[in-house]
Amino acid sequence: MSHDPNCLFCKIIAGQIPSRQVYEDDELFAFHDIHPWAPVHFLLVPKRHIASMAHLADADAGLMGRLMVLAPRLAIEQGCKPYPEGGFRIVANTGAEGGQEVHHLHVHVMGGPRPWARG
Ligand code: 5GP
Ligand code: ZN
């Protein structure tokens, strides 16, 4: 399923729920987390509804490669200082024991000066 009408992040991607957008292309979307843990904290997601990292298929390797290559660029654009003094943290919570609350694959990209609120 490419769009799940009951999925919060599908609604955000479709613009049905407002968000502070960071990036958009034909396959990927990024927006600020509503409860940031760090001075920079945005979520980077595939537009297609994929429930979690556990649902990835071999055919998704290119998509996820693009996502991971994009993350550092967006982190810098959003104010993270460059590596190695700056940098960022990428987290992909997966499943109940992985702490996943929204079941549309997303990576958290967090950075900025410490201390952070969490993490
Ligand atoms: P998870 O625990 O699934 O990895 O993280 C889900 C994240 O989505 C949380 O950090 C939470 O703050 C964020 N979030 C939940 N609802 C919304 C929303 O309506 N808008 C935005 N921008 N972020 C949300
Ligand atoms: Zn979704």
Name, in order, each residue with C-beta under 8 angstroms of 80's C-beta and a sequence gap of 6 or more: 40, 86, 87, 88, 111, 112
From the CB of 91, is ligand 1 less than 6 Å away?
no
C-alpha span between 117 and 38 (Å, rounded)? 6
Per-residue pLDDT, 119: 83
Atom of ligand 1 nearest to the CA of 19: 22
Per-residue pLDDT, 75: 98
Per-residue pLDDT, 1: 65
- Determine contact, residues 3/51, Cβ cutoff 8 Å: no
Per-residue pLDDT, 84: 97
Ligand nearest to C-alpha 93: 1
- Which has the closest alpha carbon to 1: 68, 67, 47? 47
- From 34, 94, 103, 107, mutation site for ligand 1 pocket: most ligand atoms within 8 A of C-beta: 34
Q: What is the pTM of this model?
A: 0.98
- From 7, 19, 35, mutation site for ligand 1 pocket: most ligand atoms within 8 A of C-beta: 35
Per-residue pLDDT, 116: 97
Structure tokens at 19: 């968000």
Regions in the chain scoring below 50 on pLDDT: none
106 included as an active-site residue: yes
Helix (H, G, I), strand (E, B) or coil at 44: strand
Per-residue pLDDT, 115: 96
